Structures are given as structure tokens and as C-alpha cells.
Amino acid sequence: MGDQLAISSFVIRFVQDTSDPETPVKCRGAIHHVQSDDSCSFTKWTDAEAFMQRYITLETMSPGASWPVSKDTRAKD
């Protein structure tokens, strides 16, 4: 019957603490997977990526590229 689509939707909220201009901006956030109603908080982007990895495969994506990107076509440094 052909390929099936797998849809995953995420809502991401970022909070930045800019109250003290003498210190670096502190960031935190929360991510919500819409289909499962599962959520988690994060202080590092890698934690948000790990959460998304439960539902989608991120290792085949490269920043700024269209999705999907096969592993052999990613830009070489």
C-alpha cells in the first residue's frame, strides 16, 4: 500500500533569565510531544534532543538542511 507517514509534533518553550546584565544569560526550557502528551524540562539543548530522539531519528539531520538528509549527503568538513 505504499509508505506510511509518521508524524511527530513538538512544542518547545524557552525561558531566558536576563535579570542581571553582568552575568551570562541563563536558559532553560520545556519540550512537549503532542501525540503522546509526554513532556520534559531541560537546561541543555542536548537534553531536548534526547527527548525528541525517543520519537524521531535525529542523527540523519544536519543543521540548516532540508529533512530528510541521508548520511552520505551531509556536508563534509
- Residues 35, 54 contacting (CB under 8 angstroms): no
Residue 2 has, within 13 A of its CA and on its CB side, a CA count of 2
- Residues 11, 31 contacting (CB under 8 angstroms): yes
pLDDT of residue 36: 95
Q: Is 54 part of a structural domain of the chain?
A: yes
The more confident residue out of 74 and 56 is 56
pLDDT bin (cut points 50, 70, 90) of residue 72 is very low
pLDDT of residue 30: 97
Q: Is 77 part of a structural domain of the chain?
A: no
- Residues 60, 71 contacting (CB under 8 angstroms): yes
Q: How many domains does the chain have?
A: 1
Q: Is 1 part of a structural domain of the chain?
A: yes
pLDDT of residue 63: 58
Each residue's pLDDT tens digit, 14-68: 999 888 888 888 889 999 999 999 999 999 988 998 999 999 876 655 555 554 4
Pairing outcome for strands 10-17 and 26-33: antiparallel
Whether the full predicted model's pTM is greater than 0.85, yes or no, is: no
Beginning with the edge strand found earlier in the chain, give each strand of the sheet holding 10-17 in spatial order: 10-17, 26-33, 38-42
Q: Is 64 part of a structural domain of the chain?
A: no
Q: Is 66 part of a structural domain of the chain?
A: no
- Identify the domain containing residue 26 by its residue range: 1-58
